[in-house]
């Protein structure tokens, strides 16, 4: 694969439970190329979140090696893994956790505060990210004035405002109705094409799967199937 950005080599993850251990991931091998729009798919409990958390350097493998942008996750110091996440990896979760007392603008701006960016430049970047998701007119609203779909779109803007190389989205449509699910998938596909961001989803939602170019099937912590999807070209 040319230009791989994520490389998972013989990764096993075990969690201590009671007096024993539970194997959540078992000998996973997987490469993701730069600019892919791919998903980890499989039933609840199959290990999707565990693998996303390792790739996002929120957790590390028990055995094997997970490399993200050429860096081995288990060898990073606390500070280095925080830096990798802050600069290069965006996260979107099922529950988007916007800060209720701040405006939409401020919620997105927080993602940039840790970086040393002048206020005028910050404002430009935040408004651009809100335009990406079609919410520029909502900038001064508080999160409780938003619908669920709009809230998740703010979460996408918050994750994308840093222009991360990798966007990890854990069941991003789980709380959305069909119309909003399609809307946010179209938004993310557009960002994938325009910014060349690598997207990795975890999902068991058929609507999400229909947009993905690659379905990586997990079953009981094992990689069961790795499927490239051919989409029909529609040019009308
Ligand atoms: P999915 O995201 O596909 O639903 P998860 O990765 O969350 O699956 O979990 C995979 C399995 O690992 C599940 O059986 C879950 O109960 C178990 N698991 C996940 N995290 C922990 C943990 N911290 N301690 C013990 N077991 C865990
Ligand atoms: Mg999960």
pLDDT at position 120 over 80: yes
Give the residue-averaged pLDDT of 141-169. 95
**Ligand 1 atom at minimum distance from 47 CA:** 6
Assess if residue 30 is contained within a domain.
Answer: no
Of the candidates 233, 99, 232, 95, the residue with the CA atom closest to the CA atom of residue 172? 95
81 vs 113: CA distance, rounded Å: 18
Assess if residue 4 is contained within a domain.
Answer: no
Assess if residue 6 is contained within a domain.
Answer: no
Q: Is the CB–ligand 1 distance for residue 77 below 6 Å?
A: no
Ligand 1 atom 27: the closest Cα is on which residue?
Answer: 15
Q: Measured over all CA atoms, what is the biggest interatomic distance in the chain, rounded to whole angstroms?
A: 60
Token couple for 212: 């993905």
Residue 147: domain span: 36-61+78-228
Assess if residue 123 is contained within a domain.
Answer: yes
Give residue-wise pLDDT tens across range 49-82: 999 999 999 999 999 999 999 999 999 999 999 9
Assess if residue 114 is contained within a domain.
Answer: yes
Assess if residue 49 is contained within a domain.
Answer: yes
More confident residue, 207 or 2: 207
Q: Is the CB–ligand 1 distance for residue 21 below 6 Å?
A: no
Ligand 1 atom 25: the closest Cα is on which residue?
Answer: 15
216 touches 223 (CB < 8 A): yes
Predicted confidence at residue 234, as pLDDT, reads: 58
Of the candidates 77, 43, 46, the residue with the CA atom closest to the CA atom of residue 60? 77
If one residue of 11, 13, 14, 15 were mutated to test the ligand 1 pocket, choosing by the most ligand atoms within 8 A of its CB, it would be 15
* Total domain count, the chain: 1
Could you identify the residue written with the tokens 């000998």? 27
Q: Is the CB–ligand 1 distance for residue 48 below 6 Å?
A: yes
Query: What is the Å distance from ligand 2's center to 221 Cα?
Result: 12
Q: Is the CB–ligand 1 distance for residue 22 below 6 Å?
A: yes
24 touches 15 (CB < 8 A): yes
**Any idea what the CATH number is for the domain that residue 136 is in?**
3.40.50.300
Assess if residue 86 is contained within a domain.
Answer: yes
113 vs 107: CA distance, rounded Å: 11
Backbone angles phi, psi at 17, to 5 degrees: -135, 125
6 SS3 class: strand
Give the residue-averaged pLDDT of 146-154. 93
pLDDT at position 29 over 80: yes
Neighbours of ion ligand 2 (CB under 5 A): 48-49
- Between helix 148-160 and helix 178-195 the angle, nearest 10°, is 20
Pairing of strands 4-17, 20-33: antiparallel
pLDDT at position 153 over 70: yes
pLDDT class for 96, splitting at 50, 70, 90? confident
């Amino acid at each position: 694969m040319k230009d791989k950005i994520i490389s998972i080599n013989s990764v096993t993850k075990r969690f201590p439970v009671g007096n024993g251990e539970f194997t959540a991931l078992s000998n996973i091998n997987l490469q993701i190329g730069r600019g892919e729009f791919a998903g980890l798919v499989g039933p609840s409990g199959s290990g999707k979140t565990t693998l996303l958390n390792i790739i996002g350097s929120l957790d590390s493998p028990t055995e094997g090696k997970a490399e993200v942008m050429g860096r081995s996750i288990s060898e990073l110091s606390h500070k280095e893994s925080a830096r990798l996440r802050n600069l290069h990896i965006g996260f979107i979760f099922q529950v988007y956790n916007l800060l209720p007392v701040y405006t939409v603008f401020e919620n997105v701006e927080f993602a940039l505060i840790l970086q040393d960016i002048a206020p005028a430049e910050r404002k430009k970047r935040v408004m651009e990210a809100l335009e990406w998701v079609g919410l520029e007119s909502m900038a001064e609203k508080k999160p409780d004035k938003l619908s669920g779909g709009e809230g998740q779109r703010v979460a996408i803007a918050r994750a994308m405002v840093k222009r991360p190389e990798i966007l990890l989205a854990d069941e991003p449509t789980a709380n959305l109705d069909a119309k909003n699910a399609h809307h946010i998938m179209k938004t993310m596909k557009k960002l994938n094409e325009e910014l060349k961001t690598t997207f990795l989803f975890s999902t068991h939602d058929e609507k999400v799967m229909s947009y993905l170019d690659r379905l990586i099937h997990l079953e009981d912590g094992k990689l069961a199937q790795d499927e490239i999807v051919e989409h029909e070209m529609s040019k009308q």
